[in-house]
């Protein structure tokens, strides 16, 4: 989840590396650093905190050179200090790393015994010190890097430069992504193609376990045995220009306002406008005969999957097992071959989700992924990808990608229901219409800002907040609570509304606001009773509902936020946007760093 970048060419490396780090900052912002070769020697600049701090250092102490590497860090081993900031190295080699070297303690002891002097607490320095030792023993940089890679356990994407070798850079990957960019008389390494988009569109992804030796003229690829490895250069479709805030205060605000567009674009890919039927790309398996679905993802993507589960179960009558990826991969559930693994991820690089994908495949499951980054590792390893058309999401907290995932999952549920005969044409028409109405309904939500701001005043004063929902609105509550925790640092818990009386009700007093997602419909009366129980105990209720639900809620709720009328099938999508808006308004009141909240990173490529 750190971002790494490298360049070997003829142009001044530092501005190129700094620009690429800006595009990688979503991966971590605990510290940043750049090293270049200056007259054959390694020089580096590093700074604790955000990339801007490194910018200030570079203004004071310029860093020339045409070959260099850069890093933006999300701390795993060692505090987020300047001393632990990458690049790490010795006078002979400089290294940037994304991932975790799991056997670093054992290697470190061995290297210290061999006389290597460590200066940081990081696992990454083990790589630098081992390569350094091999160089001192007379190996070439390629031999030294190769010998080192063979000893590493864990996950890594690495870029290295070497003193006295101004036209050489080595990259390697195992379990963490790394792209090789091909330019004119210059070559690049980057954690993703987004980082390299303004520099080159011609990208080859290293296969897992492979490494590459780059000069400005090209690259040679090898596997871990040292045998030449195949690679394929693809043209990236990502925009090369900088992604701005377009006048919004934060990327989050901009991305919230993109909901209607993103939902519309995503649905357009899956709904035939002429027939108003869902049309999925050709699948390499038959939805009609899939016995079971295993859905997995992390964080918000998992909550999208939970809403998807309720659609798949109720509309397509197919059993869906759901578990977070970090648990599923170690739970080893017995799975009959021929089932479907359903993976959901914005980045397509989340380490836990990727590992779960691989274990589902090993268990004989077909693999269908719902992804926002078409050029990601998960995209390459899936049998079929259903794209969310959310565009690059810059704010660390996910918003528009979440509703795009829901749009895809809703279409998947309809297509599955049709294939299995649980949905007839008339039902499909109703559901499709409900989805097609969504962009317009979502746009209307922004008119509710004054009400949401009023609710935010109450939430912002609280230390703890409870979120409640039932059925497909329980995951909405989970999403609302997660978003609030992430960007306002207020403790929030989500409960299935019916579970409250089994324990959490003990928490309720005037200081613990209760946010509920309670549209009218089948479960409304039950949820309303649960909320009444809370109100009777002094709880302050902030309720998201619809015009039908509002009348009953207004009597008990301190704040009733009336969302536009929508079909029950599509309601979780609208309610998700509303709870995200609430979290944003609370974060504004708290004055937090909305787009880059503390301790987080957007793409979590470590376990």
Q: Report the interhelical angle of 524-536 vs 547-556 (nearest 10°).
A: 20
Q: Is 357 in the site for ligand F6R (CB under 6 A)?
A: no
Are 254 and 443 in contact by the 8 Å Cβ rule? The answer is no
Residues 6+ apart with CB under 8 A from 394: 26, 243, 251, 255, 595
Closer CB to ligand F6R, 265 or 398, in the complex: 398
Taking CB under 6 A as the criterion, the residue among 28, 99, 177, 299 binding ligand F6R is 299
Closer CB to ligand F6R, 141 or 190, in the complex: 190
Closer CB to ligand F6R, 48 or 585, in the complex: 585
How far is Cα 519 from Cα 513, in angstroms, rounded to an integer?
19
Taking CB under 6 A as the criterion, the residue among 398, 416, 472, 596 binding ligand F6R is 398
Provide φ and ψ at 71, rounded to 5°: -155, 140
Side-by-side strand order, sheet with 514-517: 491-496, 464-469, 514-517, 541-545, 559-562
Taking CB under 6 A as the criterion, the residue among 162, 604, 605, 606 binding ligand F6R is 604
Q: Is 397 in the site for ligand F6R (CB under 6 A)?
A: yes
Stretch binding ligand F6R (CB under 6 A), from 264-272, 341-349, 503-511, 555-563: 341-349
Closer CB to ligand F6R, 356 or 460, in the complex: 356
Least distance between ligand F6R and beta carbon 301 (Å): 4
Residues 6+ apart with CB under 8 A from 110: none
Residue nearest to ligand F6R (CB): 299
Taking CB under 6 A as the criterion, the residue among 72, 350, 517, 530 binding ligand F6R is 350
Are 345 and 402 in contact by the 8 Å Cβ rule? The answer is no
Sign of the dihedral through C-alpha 602, 305, 573, 423: positive
Q: Is 98 in the site for ligand F6R (CB under 6 A)?
A: no
Q: Is 345 in the site for ligand F6R (CB under 6 A)?
A: yes
Are 88 and 122 in contact by the 8 Å Cβ rule? The answer is yes
Least distance between ligand F6R and beta carbon 487 (Å): 8
Q: 2, 148, 298, 395: which is the annotated catalytic residue?
A: 2
Known catalytic residue at 559: no
384-388 contacts at long range (C-beta below 8 A, 24 or more positions apart): 384/281, 384/283, 384/284, 386/270, 386/280, 386/281, 386/411, 386/412, 387/266, 387/269, 388/262, 388/266, 388/346
Q: Is 346 in the site for ligand F6R (CB under 6 A)?
A: yes
Q: Is 406 in the site for ligand F6R (CB under 6 A)?
A: no
Are 409 and 307 in contact by the 8 Å Cβ rule? The answer is yes
Q: Is 122 in the site for ligand F6R (CB under 6 A)?
A: no
Q: 3-class DSSP state for residue 489?
A: coil
Q: Is 486 in the site for ligand F6R (CB under 6 A)?
A: yes
Stretch binding ligand F6R (CB under 6 A), from 58-66, 73-81, 129-137, 340-348: 340-348
Q: 254, 400, 483, 602: which is the annotated catalytic residue?
A: 602
Are 130 and 146 in contact by the 8 Å Cβ rule? The answer is no
Nearest to 156 by CA among 198, 98, 196: 98
User: Per-residue contact track with ligand F6R, 508 to 547, x per CB under 6 A?
Assistant: ----------------------------------------
How big is the CA angle at 410 (ends 256 and 562), to the nearest 5 degrees?
A: 50
HSE toward the beta carbon, residue 547, CA cutoff 13 A: 4
How big is the CA angle at 102 (ends 118 and 365), to the nearest 5 degrees?
A: 160
Buried b (16+ CB within 10 A) or exposed e, 26-42: bbbbbbbbbbbbbeeeb
Are 336 and 350 in contact by the 8 Å Cβ rule? The answer is no
How far is Cα 485 from Cα 479, in angstroms, rounded to an integer?
10
Closer CB to ligand F6R, 1 or 111, in the complex: 1
Stated as kind and residue range, the H or E segment containing 252 is helix 251-257
Least distance between ligand F6R and beta carbon 75 (Å): 17
Distances (CA, A) of 454 to 242, 449, 465, 549: 35, 9, 16, 19
Least distance between ligand F6R and beta carbon 99 (Å): 16
Q: Which two tokens stand for residue 235?
A: 């043209």
Q: Is 84 in the site for ligand F6R (CB under 6 A)?
A: no
Q: Is 301 in the site for ligand F6R (CB under 6 A)?
A: yes
Least distance between ligand F6R and beta carbon 544 (Å): 19
Closer CB to ligand F6R, 565 or 593, in the complex: 593
Closer CB to ligand F6R, 163 or 465, in the complex: 465
User: Per-residue contact track with ligand F6R, 547 to 586, x per CB under 6 A?
Assistant: ----------------------------------------
Known catalytic residue at 298: no
Q: Is 353 in the site for ligand F6R (CB under 6 A)?
A: yes
Taking CB under 6 A as the criterion, the residue among 116, 122, 300, 377 binding ligand F6R is 300
Least distance between ligand F6R and beta carbon 378 (Å): 8
Closer CB to ligand F6R, 330 or 433, in the complex: 330
Sign of the dihedral through C-alpha 149, 155, 161, 163: negative
Least distance between ligand F6R and beta carbon 347 (Å): 3
Place of tokens 């490298």: 6
> By rule CB under 6 A, what count of residues binds ligand F6R?
15
User: Per-residue contact track with ligand F6R, 434 to 473, x per CB under 6 A?
Assistant: ----------------------------------------
Nearest to 377 by CA among 101, 570, 96, 178: 178
Closer CB to ligand F6R, 346 or 365, in the complex: 346
Least distance between ligand F6R and beta carbon 299 (Å): 2
Q: Is 326 in the site for ligand F6R (CB under 6 A)?
A: no
Least distance between ligand F6R and beta carbon 356 (Å): 11
How far is Cα 15 from Cα 33, in angstroms, rounded to an integer?
12
Instruction: Tell me the catalytic residues.
Output: 2, 602
Q: Given the rule CB under 6 A, which residues bind ligand F6R?
A: 298-301, 345-347, 350, 353, 397-398, 482, 486, 603-604
């Amino acid at each position: 989840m750190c971002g790494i970048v490298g360049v070997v060419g003829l142009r001044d490396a530092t501005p190129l590396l700094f620009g690429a780090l800006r595009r990688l900052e979503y991966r971590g912002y605990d510290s940043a650093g750049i090293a270049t070769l200056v007259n054959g020697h390694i020089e580096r600049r590093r700074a604790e905190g955000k990339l801007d701090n490194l910018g200030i250092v570079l203004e004071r102490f310029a860093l020339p050179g045409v070959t260099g590497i850069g890093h933006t860090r999300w701390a795993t081993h060692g505090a987020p200090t300047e001393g632990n900031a990458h690049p790490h190295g010795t006078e002979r080699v400089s290294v940037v790393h994304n991932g975790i070297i799991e056997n670093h303690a054992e290697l470190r002891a061995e290297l210290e015994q061999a006389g290597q002097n460590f200066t940081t607490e990081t696992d990454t320095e083990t790589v630098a010190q081992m390569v350094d030792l091999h160089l001192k023993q007379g190996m070439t940089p390629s031999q030294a890097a190769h010998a080192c890679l063979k000893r590493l356990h864990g996950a890594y994407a690495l870029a290295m430069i070497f003193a006295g070798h101004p036209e050489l850079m080595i990259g390697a990957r195992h379990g963490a992504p790394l792209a090789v960019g091909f330019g004119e008389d210059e070559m690049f390494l980057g954690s993703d193609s987004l980082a390299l988009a303004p520099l080159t569109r011609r990208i080859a992804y290293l296969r897992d376990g492979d490494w590459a030796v780059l000069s400005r003229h090209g690259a040679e690829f090898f596997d871990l045995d040292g045998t030449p490895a195949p690679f394929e250069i693809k043209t990236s479709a990502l925009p090369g220009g900088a992604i701005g805030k377009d006048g919004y205060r934060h990327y989050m605000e901009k991305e919230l306002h993109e909901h209607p567009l993103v939902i519309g674009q995503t649905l357009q890919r899956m709904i035939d406008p002429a027939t108003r039927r869902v049309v999925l790309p050709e699948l390499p398996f038959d939805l009609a005969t899939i016995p079971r679905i295993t859905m997995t993802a992390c964080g918000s993507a998992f909550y999208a999957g939970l809403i998807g589960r309720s659609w798949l179960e109720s509309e397509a009558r197919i059993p869906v097992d759901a578990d977070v990826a970090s648990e599923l991969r170690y739970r080893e559930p017995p799975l009959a071959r021929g089932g479907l693994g359903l993976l959901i991820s914005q980045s397509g690089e989340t380490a836990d989700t990727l590992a779960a994908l691989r274990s589902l495949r090993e268990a004989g499951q077909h693999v269908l992924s719902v992804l926002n980054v078409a050029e990601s590792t998960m995209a390459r390893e899936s049998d079929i990808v259903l794209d969310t058309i959310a565009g690059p999401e810059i704010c660390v907290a996910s918003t528009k990608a979440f509703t795009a995932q829901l749009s895809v999952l809703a279409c998947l549920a309809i297509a599955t229901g049709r294939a299995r005969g649980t949905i007839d044409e008339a039902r499909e028409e109703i559901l499709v219409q409900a989805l097609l109405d969504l962009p317009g309904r979502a746009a209307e939500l922004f008119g509710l800002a004054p009400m949401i701001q009023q609710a935010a005043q109450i939430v912002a004063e609280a230390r703890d907040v409870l979120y409640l929902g039932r059925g497909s609105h329980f995951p909405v509550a989970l999403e609302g609570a997660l978003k609030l925790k992430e960007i306002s640092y207020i403790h929030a818990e989500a409960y299935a509304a019916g579970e409250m009386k089994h324990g959490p009700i003990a928490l309720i007093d005037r200081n613990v606001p209760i946010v509920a997602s309670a549209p009218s419909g089948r479960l409304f009366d039950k949820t309303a009773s649960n909320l009444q129980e809370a109100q009777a105990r002094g709880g302050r209720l902030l309720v998201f509902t619809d015009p039908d639900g509002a009348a009953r809620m207004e009597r008990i709720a301190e704040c009733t936020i009336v969302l536009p009328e929508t079909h029950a099938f599509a309601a979780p999508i609208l309610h998700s946007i509303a709870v995200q808006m609430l979290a944003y308004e609370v974060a504004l009141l708290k004055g937090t760093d909305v787009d880059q909240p503390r301790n987080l990173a957007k793409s979590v490529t470590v376990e």
